[in-house]
Amino acid sequence: MIGVLQFPGSCDERDAVLACERVDEARLVWHREAELGDLAAVVIPGGFSYGDYLRAGAIARFAPAMEAVREFAAAGRPVLGICNGFQVLCEAGLLPGALLPNAGLRFVCRQVEVEVERTDTAATAACQRGDRLSIPVKHLSGRWFAPPQALAELEESGRIVFRYAAGENPNGSVADVAGMANERGNVVGLMPHPEHAVDPLTGSADGLKLFESLVRSAAPAAV
């Protein structure tokens, strides 16, 4: 069973549940739930949690469910943050860097090509290195940023999991970063929406690999 967090203002939580249900059972986790129980993995979905009027993800990090996610992550269990979920994970300090307003200062919704750099994370275990995935982005604040020295360290330690393919960067992210992992690789966040790339009918099925990866990564913990 995969849990998908639901904050007031979440938008893509049902889409995330549908995507998870293609690989496992799934349920919504209300933002006030403080226990995650025996969930195999947790997805923090896209949207505008609590309206995001302050700064994307800045309020959601204080939700009781996020305290539970923090413990869940500390136990090495798989956590995937998508778009607003990535922003929340960065605000919560579970992933490095920050997501700034897009370089164009406009919301952008576009199908982009994303390259997989690591296959040893909870969200990419079912991918091949160099896989090129067609996945949509849709965000206003997706420009991932870290200061040069921090970026160099993250590059050095291989923390960058997804990069926009050449010419595909929609928001001005430094080093074309589309997604990051924590040091253990069990917490991954990305701006593109893999839950909107699980069916060729709606554009692409490339994102399904991320959900398959979550299930695969969860398996050992369940033993």
Partner 1 sequence: MTVSETRHRELGLTDAEFERIVTLLGRAPNDVELAMFSLLWSEHCAYKHSRKLLRRLPTEGARVLLGPGENAGAVSIGDGWAVAFKVESHNHPSAVEPFQGAATGVGGILRDVFALGARPIAVLDSLRFGELESERSRYLFDRVVAGIGHYGNSIGVPTVGGEVYFEAPYEHNCLVNAMCVGLARAEATIRSAAAGPGNAIVLMGASTGRDGIGGASVLASAELEHGEEKRPSVQIGDPFEEAKLLECCLELLDRGLLVALQDLGAAGLTSSAGEMASKGGVGIDIDVERVPLREADMEPFEVMVSESQERMLAVVEPQRLDEVIALCERWETGAAVIGEVTGSGDFRVLRDGEVIGEMPVGALVDGCPLYDLAPAEPESWIYGNREPEPTTDPGGAGSGAEEAGATLLALLASPSIASKRWAFEQYDSVVLSHTVRRPEAVDAAVLHLHEADATIAVAIDGNGRRVACEPYAGTIEAVLECAQNLACSGAEPLGLTNCLNFGNPEKPHVAWQLDRSTQGLADACAALGVPVVGGNVSLYNETEEGPIYPTPVVGMVGELPDPTRAGGLAAGDGDAIAVCGPFSPSLAGSELAKIRGELGPGLPSLPIAALSAAIALVRDAVRSGLTTAAHDVSDGGLACALAEMAIAGEIGLEVDLDPLVELRGCSGETCLFGEGAGGFVLAGSRASLEALADAGIDLVLVGAAGGDRIVISAAEAEIAVALADAARAWRSLGERLEAVPVP
Strand partners, 6: 30
98 burial class (0-12, 13-18, 19+ CB within 10 angstroms)? middle
User: Count of residues binding partner 1 (CB under 8 A)?
Assistant: 30
Question: Closest approach of Cβ 78 to partner 1, in Å?
Answer: 22
Residue whose entry in the numeric block shows the structure tokens 């929609």: 170
In terms of CB distance, is 133 or 160 closer to partner 1? 133
Question: Closest approach of Cβ 24 to partner 1, in Å?
Answer: 17
DSSP H or E segment with residue 43: strand 41-44
Q: Does 81 bind partner 1 (CB under 8 A)?
A: no
Per-residue interface string for the shown chain with partner 1, residues 182-201, x marking contact by CB under 8 A? -----------x-xx--x-x
Restricted to residues 49-68, the positions that interact with partner 1 (CB under 8 A) are 50-53
Describe the strand order of the beta sheet including 2-6 as a list of residue ranges.
Answer: 26-30, 2-6, 41-44, 79-82, 187-190, 177-181, 160-164, 108-116, 132-139
By annotation, the residues acting in catalysis are: 83, 193, 195
Residues that bind partner 1 (CB under 8 A): 8-12, 14-15, 18, 46-48, 50-53, 106-110, 136, 138, 140, 193, 195-196, 199, 201-203
